Amino acid sequence: MKLAVTAPDRLDVRTVEIDDPGDLISRLPHSSALAWVRHGEGLVGWGEAARLTVPAGPGRFAAVQGLLDELFGSARVDDPLGVPGSGPVAFGSFAFDPASGDSVVIVPRHVVGRRGGRAWLTTIGDAPGPATRTMELAEPPAAPSQLSWSDGALSAPAWQRAVAAAVEHIRAGRLGKVVLARDLYAQASEPIDARVLLARLAERFPACYTFACGGLVGATPELLIRRTGDAVESLVLAGTAARGATPAEDAERAARLQASAKDRQEHSYAAQMVREALAPLCAQLTVPSEPQVLTLPNVLHLASPVRGLLHDERSVLDVVEALHPTPAVCGTPTDRALELIGRLEGMDRGRYAGPVGWVDARGDGEWGIALRCAQLDGTRARLFAGCGIVADSDPEAELAEAQSKFRVMQYALEG
């Protein structure tokens, strides 16, 4: 594996503490945005000090970590803060399917971060100069206009037939669960600016992780893994219901979701897999016995927060490799679910449902699953939504769930 964009033999990295920069997303100077923001904290980046190629096949996460160890290990780093996300950082977005070559890993030239009441600016290569000057380069983005919509690989009726076929496979005992996704296209009159979508998503869904990497933009509720020193955290989401129109209706739907045998079965597959993947890596691991309900602006999810302590020195990417793909985005058993996805979806997911996030030179980082997202390509956006299918799944209900998940990015595009 090699660097796809020529990088200097040795990176010069300087991090300086800065005054509160305000809204992080507003600091992005152009539409080639890199972002990972939640509740106003996180990282945004722009420019490229290096871009890594990621070959298809097994071992891709370890290969990327090896390259980053070499690149960051040889760098001249001035980082007086020493907090997660300061110093050199790589943003990444990996393809869902390990056989795909669509993954993107970028080391930005500029990063602005905020965490725990402190803010910083990291610059690679250039002398940073006054921090305020670096962050006054922004050009105001224009909102998408004259949008038109079209089906992706499958129409709604065709996707319902795919769901019905998946249920038949499950009831025949061939697998326990499979996640089927749909895509949808939006066409605009002018190139779509990622910053507009990021700003709308961060404002509407502050509890989600608003992200951008290599043109993939979204707001995922699902934290695959966070590593801070030897501590790791994950949030398992599986089992979904639409929000109600009133608080009373929300409470009724939340109670129904918690009592749903179908949704609890779907959730148990995902939680058990995360437990089994993390247990060999952790000296301590806590997984709740019962899921809780996570309330988002558009949907309710069954959620299980998982926490552990690593017993060896491992990068966050080592843990990502152990976890992906989870039953929450693939199914179980994994190999049979992957095969059925390939047969029924009729499309290449690209980086949808793959890991997305960042890693620093200490191996700390945060990675989510690329859900509620769209891949931008000039004037076109490709949206994705998926649903977990089990033996009791109803095609019509699953279609309604997918449509509710599409609304996140439809809102981001339409405002």
pLDDT at 54: 87
Cα separation, 40 vs 43, whole angstroms: 9
Active-site annotation holder among 41, 48, 222, 366: 222
- The reported pTM is 0.92
Cα separation, 84 vs 234, whole angstroms: 17
Res 131 pLDDT > 90: no
Q: What's the CA angle centered on 306, arms 303 and 307, to 5 degrees?
A: 155
Active site residue 222: yes
Q: Find how far residue 116's CA is from the centre of its chain.
A: 22
E strands in 28-109: 34-38, 41-46, 50-52, 76-78, 89-93, 104-107
- Token readout for 302 is 């069954």
Binning pLDDT at 50, 70 and 90, where does residue 1 land? very low
Binning pLDDT at 50, 70 and 90, where does residue 126 land? low
Q: What is the mean pLDDT of residues 179-203?
A: 97
* 223 touches 237 (CB < 8 A): no
- Token readout for 227 is 């590593």
- Average confidence score pLDDT of the chain: 92
Burial class (CB in 10 A: 0-12, 13-18, 19+), 76: exposed
Which DSSP letter does residue 57 get?
A: S
pLDDT at 134: 52
User: Looking at domain 3-414, does it have CATH number 3.40.50.880?
Assistant: no
Question: Closest Cα partner for 222 from 242, 204, 240?
Answer: 240
Domain boundaries, the chain: 3-414
Question: Closest Cα partner for 162 from 382, 387, 333?
Answer: 387
Res 133 pLDDT > 60: no
Active-site annotation holder among 177, 321, 366, 401: 177
- For the ranges 55-69, 245-259, 352-366, the one whose mean pLDDT is highest: 352-366
Active site residue 177: yes
Q: Which residues contact 334 (CB under 8 A, 6 or more apart)?
A: 325, 327
Residue 295, beta-bridge partner list: 300
Res 5 pLDDT > 50: no
Which DSSP letter does residue 203 get?
A: H
Res 129 pLDDT > 80: no
pLDDT at 139: 62
Res 3 pLDDT > 80: no
